[in-house]
Amino acid sequence: MTVELVQDGQSDLAVELSRLKEEHRDLDGAIAALERSVAGDQLQIQRLKKRKLTLRDRISYVEDQITPDIIA
């Protein structure tokens, strides 16, 4: 029973990690498109970059949960 819960938790984290990475990539494209536009909205770009940083932090956290540090 405990092993099943751990495996379910791991698969949930893997799904979340995949979703977060996809959103992070999408933000890259959106930021690049806004920066290329002549009238790029700097406030919108800043918001997207802040969201991207938040996603990066969450991705790191989830990756750490999937593969925790091994204390030697």
pLDDT tens per residue across span 8-67: 778 899 999 999 999 999 999 999 999 888 777 899 999 999 999 999 999 999 999 988
Q: What does the angle CA 62 – CA 44 – CA 32 come to, to the nearest 5 degrees?
A: 75
Domain count, the chain: 1
Inside any domain, residue 35? yes
Inside any domain, residue 13? yes
Structural domain range at position 60: 2-65
Inside any domain, residue 59? yes
At a CB cut-off of 8 Å and minimum separation 6, what does 22 contact?
Answer: none
Inside any domain, residue 22? yes
Inside any domain, residue 24? yes
Inside any domain, residue 70? no
Residue 1 has pLDDT above 50, yes or no: no
Residue 5 has pLDDT above 60, yes or no: no
Inside any domain, residue 30? yes
How many Cα atoms within 13 Å fall on the side-chain side of residue 34? 16
Inside any domain, residue 71? no
